[in-house]
A and B are shown apart, each in its own frame.
Chain A
Amino acid sequence: DQQVKQNSPSLSVQEGRISILNCDYTNSMFDYFLWYKKYPAEGPTFLISISSIKDKNEDGRFTVFLNKSAKHLSLHIVPSQPGDSAVYFCAASQGYGQNFVFGPGTRLSVLP
């Protein structure tokens, strides 16, 4: 049972444009969400997080939006850079200090 879904396995975007990565979840008890980025042959690295009390969190070029009613979150990268090319994992938990459930990832390619 996939509680966290990333339905787009891959996404290609032109450099300088916006990248939008989507994530859907099924467990209404999830209230803490995060995004990790992974380069080939490396482990995932933490990117940004959001708790359910917010609907937006911004960190530089990265913004995460949360729509609790739709059980949907998205990661916006503006402007996209070639160095952003990586696999992005969405993850969710039922609160701080609880186990995270990861999605399968979306491979982002930013074309120069």
Chain B
Amino acid sequence: DTAVSQTPKYLVTQMGNDKSIKCEQNLGHDTMYWYKQDSKKFLKIMFSYNNKELIINETVPNRFSPKSPDKAHLNLHINSLELGDSAVYFCASSQLDFSYEQYFGPGTRLTVT
């Protein structure tokens, strides 16, 4: 039983397209996050959501928008994709805000051509 799941696992798309990545957690956690792992392998936080409220946004472009239909889901929408958006995106969740024990999904490798 996967605790944090993401779909799709791989996403290849062209510049200018709009795409979404879905994330679901079945742990009953209150906070969910999106991270981007760039080409240099650094994991950088993009967003977190707590009870449907955005509590942090690390200056990502507004082409990226998180959408949380309910506590168990935090989807990532990306508009007008650019080459530099190519990366691995990880979803995560935790019981408390920025608890050190975050549970990560397997990642979605996005390739923009």
Contact = CB atoms under 8 A, between A and B. Distances in A.
Interface of A: 2, 32, 34, 36, 41-46, 49, 89, 91, 93, 96-100, 102-105
Contact of A105 (B41, B103, B104, B107): B41
B43 A97 contact: no
A96 B43 contact: no
A44 B42 CA distance: 12
Given A46-B100, A49-B100, A100 B105 contact: no
Interface string B69-113: 000000000000000000000111000111011111111000000
**Which label, helix, strand, loop or mixed, suits the secondary structure of the B interface?**
loop
Contacts of A105: 41
A33 to B, nearest CB: 9
Interface of B: 4, 40-45, 56, 58, 90-92, 96-98, 100-107
Contacts of B43: 44, 89, 91, 102
A34 B98 CA distance: 12
B30 to A, nearest CB: 13
B106 A41 contact: yes
A93 B98 contact: yes
A32 B42 CA distance: 18
Contacts of B41: 104-105
B104 A45 contact: yes
A43 B100 contact: no
Given A43-B90, A104-B40, A104-B42, A98 B98 contact: yes
A34 B4 contact: no
B100 A42 contact: no
B100 A32 contact: yes
Given A98-B98, A104-B42, 13 more contacts: A2-B42, A32-B100, A43-B4, A43-B90, A43-B103, A44-B43, A44-B104, A46-B100, A46-B101, A96-B100, A99-B58, A103-B42, A105-B41
